[in-house]
Amino acid sequence: MSFFLLFIQEHHIQTNHGPVSVAVYGDHDKPALVTYPDIALNHMSCFQGLLFCPEAASLLLHNFCIYHISPPGHELGAAPISPNAPIPSVDDLADQVADVLDFFGLGSVMCFGVTAGAYILTLFASKYRERVLGLILVSPLCKGPTWTEWLYSKVTSNLLYYYGICGLVKECLLQRYFSKEMRGFSDLPESDIVQACKSLLDQRQSMNVWRFIQTMNERYDLTEQLKQLQCRTLIFVGENSQFHTDAVHMTSKLDRRYCALVEVQACGSLVTEEQPHAMLIPMEYFFMGYGLYRPTQLDCSPRSPLSPFCISPELLSPESMGVKLKPIKTRVRLDV
């Protein structure tokens, strides 16, 4: 078990937009890294794979105190939200992030979101530009739902409403998160990661998930707001992600001097769980732009993705980020 689990503090906060749960890891005196997961996930099912990598845990916890925000009713052991409670809008959830920062007395923070969570944190960054130092986004959404996605979400919502977290709902969600190879087919069994995700989905309150899907199905296009973002942005997307087009579109609208798109081959949307090691070197290079580094006293094995001897010479130049490193392809340069 990764050492970061030893330092968890769970906070239940009453914000101006309803209650929210925040799991805090690390030293409160360090800069803040705020995370937000995808639909039906929380920090255990969305960021666990990344933080179970010793190099990633050391990189992140050496530099940050991590504040994992769960979507309303998605935290471990959550009770069903009252059916009389209004369904929050995406703006409500973005404002809720600001309330969380106020509760902890935080100023400017680094943000790390996955798919729906990436949308919420991007919206937060567009509304509270002075409070965001940088964005790390995984398979992000930035446009309104397509008709296909809208219909798909409606079907999933109806299944949730009438049948709860049934097998078909799980399959719909797993297709959203993982590549076909991870989910298994014919003679290839599903991976341990997918099995663990299924187990964690069983713990979700179906109507709480239903509410978050309703919220995201009513989201709006952030394309115009993207042009006003002033922070550096690092975007990861699996080449087999359902949201690959959104990630490419988002990158094209951001200031190319401060944005990089990292495509991870043979991977679905949930890069943090499916191929977390592919994120290590780009993140380390991204943090260098803020003067943040991994601890020098950490002993790295020769095979460690963060070992200096494993870093490509091209990666250490300001003109490049991950070029020729597999399974990573970089479309856009990041100038430090």
Domain with residue 203: its CATH number is: 3.40.50.1820
Q: What is the pTM of this model?
A: 0.88
3-state secondary structure of 242: coil
Q: What is the model's pLDDT at position 297?
A: 55
Q: Is residue 86 part of a domain?
A: yes
Q: Is residue 321 part of a domain?
A: no
Q: Is residue 87 part of a domain?
A: yes
Burial profile 27-43: b = 16 or more Cβ within 10 angstroms, e = fewer: eeeebbbbbbbbbbbbb
Q: Please, are residues 81 and 211 in contact by the beta-carbon 8 Å criterion?
A: yes
3-state secondary structure of 238: strand
Q: Which helix (H) or strand (E) holds 10?
A: strand 9-15
Q: What is the model's pLDDT at position 163?
A: 95
Could you tell me which of 90, 65, 79, 66 has the C-alpha nearest to residue 19? 79
Residues in the chain: 336
Q: What is the model's pLDDT at position 296?
A: 72
Q: Is residue 90 part of a domain?
A: yes
Q: What is the model's pLDDT at position 184?
A: 81
Mean pLDDT by 10 residues, the chain (336 residues): 60 95 94 98 94 91 95 94 95 98 97 98 97 97 92 92 95 94 82 93 95 96 92 96 95 92 95 95 94 70 36 37 39 44
Q: What is the model's pLDDT at position 135?
A: 98
20 vs 223: CA distance, rounded Å: 28
Full residue range of the structural domain in which residue 161 is found: 8-289
What is the number of structural domains in the chain? 1
Q: Is residue 309 part of a domain?
A: no
The alpha carbon dihedral of 177, 180, 184, 188 has a sign of: negative
What's the burial of 110, exposed, middle or buried (CB within 10 Å: 0-12/13-18/19+)? buried
Q: Is residue 212 part of a domain?
A: yes
Q: Is residue 297 part of a domain?
A: no
Q: Is residue 333 part of a domain?
A: no
